[in-house]
Amino acid sequence: MTTTSPSPEPTTQADDPFALFEQWFGEAQASEPGDANAMALASVDMQGRPSVRMVLMKDHGPGGFTFYTNFDSRKGAELLADPEGALLFHWKSLRRQVRIEGPVTPVDDATADAYFATRPRDSQIGAWASDQSRPLGSREIFEARIAEAEARFAGGPVPRPPHWSGFRLMPRAMEFWLDRMFRLHERTRYQADGRGGWSSGLLFP
């Protein structure tokens, strides 16, 4: 008879926070009923007032965390004006959270073009039709703009709109939170040391 070893107890402590994120994200992809790559993105306006919304992470690793948006949207305008952001992943099925903070930079045109080409055609059309974050008089106006964009690109590929691209957040700090019984949670913060490495330490939960 063969026996299987129990799975190791999860922990927030690791030598490499990117490797730990990769492990947690893989487990979330297997367990989350929704989008495991959904993350809250926080930005601030010119008066320092914060705003937050959900976006989808499309790439991640030591080079940063990438997402795409309309640069004329509220989040796009805020990040272009003040290129600092914060992300939060909450995987309820695993009872875990990851917070990430750091500077944000636009991706290059080739990267944005390559990702845009992978999007469903209806999503590509929507990127042309939507003045994201702007007031909309009625749903019918939006539907008419969708029809106009469909007619404009009928029979051919849909190019990436000039106002649509991506941002990459390069972590300055990463914080991993793990639920424990009786609210005695485990929490570790990793801080970039400016030399390609990280310092880390536990925090009171």
pLDDT at 155: 85
150 occurs within a structural domain: no
H helix intervals, the chain: 17-31, 74-81, 109-118, 121-129, 139-152
The answer to whether the beta carbons of residues 66 and 86 sit under 8 Å apart is no
142 occurs within a structural domain: no
pLDDT at 62: 95
Task: Return the CATH number at 91.
Answer: 2.30.110.10
47-53: Cβ within 8 A, 24+ apart: 51/75, 51/78
Give the residue numbers spanning the domain of 79: 17-118+162-202
pLDDT at 4: 45
**C-alpha span between 21 and 14 (Å, rounded):** 10
More confident site: 3 or 128: 128
pLDDT at 183: 87
**C-alpha span between 16 and 196 (Å, rounded):** 11
As for how many domains the chain has, the answer is 1
Q: Which amino acid is at 36?
A: A
More confident site: 97 or 136: 97
136 occurs within a structural domain: no
143 occurs within a structural domain: no
123 occurs within a structural domain: no
152 occurs within a structural domain: no
pLDDT for 87 beyond 90: yes
- pLDDT per residue as tens digits for the range 6-27: 456 889 999 999 999 999 999 9
- 69 burial via Cβ count (<10 Å: 0-12, 13-18, 19+): buried
Give the mean model confidence (pLDDT) for residues 67-81: 96
pLDDT at 7: 54
Give the mean model confidence (pLDDT) for residues 92-116: 97
- What percent of the chain lies above the pLDDT cut of 70? 96
- pLDDT per residue as tens digits for the range 165-179: 999 999 999 999 999
pLDDT at 5: 46
11 occurs within a structural domain: no
Is 152 in the active site? no
**C-alpha span between 182 and 9 (Å, rounded):** 17
Q: Which amino acid is at 137?
A: G
- pLDDT per residue as tens digits for the range 54-66: 999 999 999 999 9
Dihedral angle sign, alpha carbons of residues 99, 105, 106, 107? negative
Give the mean model confidence (pLDDT) for residues 175-201: 94
Contacts of residue 41, Cβ cutoff 8 Å, sequence gap at least 6 = 52, 53, 54, 55, 67, 75, 85, 86, 87
Cα angle 201-65-61, degrees, rounded to a multiple of 5:
70
78 occurs within a structural domain: yes
pLDDT for 67 beyond 50: yes
Catalytic residue (choose from 183, 187, 189, 195): 183
